[in-house]
Amino acid sequence: MLLGDSITQGFGGPSREVSQPAGDALASVLGAWRTANMGISGDGVSHVLWRLQNGALDGLDPRFVALLIGTNDLSRGDAPQHVADGIAACVREIRRRVPHAIVVVEPPIPRGKQRGDAMRKQTDETLRLVRARCHDDPMATVLDLAPTFVDENGELVAKLFAGDLLHLSADGYRAWATQLRDTMATLDATRVRHVAFVAGDDEYRSEESLPMLAAIAARELGVRTTVCLPRDADGKVDPSCRTHIDNLRAIDSADALVLFTRFRTLPDDELRRIVDHAAMGRAMIGFRTSTHAFLYPDDSPHRDTNDAWPRATFGQQWIAHHGHFDDGKAPLTDVAFAEGSNAHPILCGVSPFAAFSWLYHVEGGGDSLQGPVEALLRGRALRSGLADEDRFPRMQPVAWTKVTQREHGEQRVFFTTLGHP
């Protein structure tokens, strides 16, 4: 989330039909981040504070908020102390509204062509005061932009600025975006991870199991979790409601997504959040029926999510299983380590076991997992309703990892066809 004045606004982005001097800096440098630009030309600290107090961030859950504000206040004659107080008030309001976000506080970019100029003294003093005011907040980091915009002689780097030595050139935006990106990458290592658990099947009671798994993850791993459940028109949890899962906005800030859905036909905005998470290269965990997570009609623009999307994301689509047989009364699958996988860290504490899950067919007989995948566990069907063993072999992978190269990095996926309660 970018907050500020015309300098921030110049980054452009969706819904920013204004002059965009930044060129492609937002996409080329910050493209790995889903970024919202809330810069407004002419704003000072009081304007940003008013926006924050009146709902600008309500309902949002950004990982980072980058705040660059104060230069217009200095231009209007406000003292650095007053500007620093206003910036600190904005930081406190951000922290109150989006408590999980790390705030990157950027006092005004250095002004004044040379060291010792009156405006340079003002921006330097504002930086010093903002540092003092934010010193004790572990979720706020003050970013000094001087190393980017000032050379070794104390002069502004002219090519990074427009002719007024206030607004930025395309080179200036790229330099600023690079410093911001590198700072966020460093801070990201200290951030508490957020995992979204998305339930929505009408066979295996994922609406019961995923909240329990989320509680275990929060307790044992120290992560922040959000559970998203199917709900009917009255707001009641209803796994048979295939057209709505609540709270999917949480996926926007999730580091990992746990998906256990079956034959959902979600509205465009709900589906987009799940698909965008995968496209951004963020981690995913899929359970059992997520090989057929969605079911859209043939004339829908989303029909590819029925088969092609789970195959590309998880490694396989729905094909067949070996049969139900006395549901829950006796084991149907013997599960053992895949060759060479017993020391894999994911399997720490796991031993071979008998599962009550009927075995899914995912490879063999002309079918193969879409890779690269690493099989971790294999299952052998103890009973089968599929007579043709050549077409549907009785031994199948039941858990694997998949690594996919996405535009902004490497995506890691874990999938299991187990999941029967």
Per-residue pLDDT averaged across 173-193, rounded? 94
For the domain made up of 2-188, the CATH class stated in words is alpha beta
Confidence at residue 290, expressed as pLDDT on a 0 to 100 scale: 98
Instruction: Give pLDDT tens digits for 233-258.
Output: 999 999 999 999 999 999 999 999 99
The mean pLDDT value of the chain amounts to 94
Residue 173 near residue 223, CB atoms below 8 Å: no
Band (pLDDT 50/70/90 cuts) for residue 18 is low
Which string of b and e fits 302-325 if b means at least 16 CB within 10 Å? beebbbebbbebbbbbbeebbeee
Q: Does residue 326 have a pLDDT over 90?
A: no
* Residue spans per domain, the chain: 2-188, 194-318, 319-403
Nearest-angstrom CA–CA distance, 149 and 5: 18
Confidence at residue 149, expressed as pLDDT on a 0 to 100 scale: 97
Per-residue pLDDT averaged across 223-230, rounded? 97
- Gap between the terminal Cα atoms of the chain: 40
Q: Does residue 409 have a pLDDT over 80?
A: no
Nearest-angstrom CA–CA distance, 242 and 261: 9
- Mark residue 153 as left, alpha or beta (left: phi above 0; alpha: psi -120 to 50; beta: remaining): alpha
Confidence at residue 248, expressed as pLDDT on a 0 to 100 scale: 96
Longest dimension (CA), the chain: 86
Task: Indicate the range of 46-60, 176-190, 285-299, 407-421 predicted with least confidence.
Answer: 407-421
The alpha carbon dihedral of 340, 346, 350, 352 has a sign of: negative
Domains 2-188 and 194-318 share a fold: yes
Instruction: Give pLDDT tens digits for 63-76.
Output: 999 999 999 999 99
**Residue 360 CA: distances (Å) to CA of 86, 87, 148:** 60, 57, 56
Instruction: Give pLDDT tens digits for 346-392.
Output: 999 999 999 998 999 999 999 999 989 999 999 999 999 998 999 99
Per-residue pLDDT averaged across 21-30, rounded? 86
Q: Does residue 225 have a pLDDT over 70?
A: yes
Confidence at residue 329, expressed as pLDDT on a 0 to 100 scale: 84
Per-residue pLDDT averaged across 183-187, rounded? 94
Task: Indicate the range of 28-37, 139-148, 229-238, 296-305 predicted with least confidence.
Answer: 28-37
For the domain made up of 194-318, the CATH class stated in words is alpha beta
Instruction: Give pLDDT tens digits for 126-166.
Output: 999 999 999 999 999 999 999 999 999 999 999 999 999 99
Confidence at residue 33, expressed as pLDDT on a 0 to 100 scale: 84
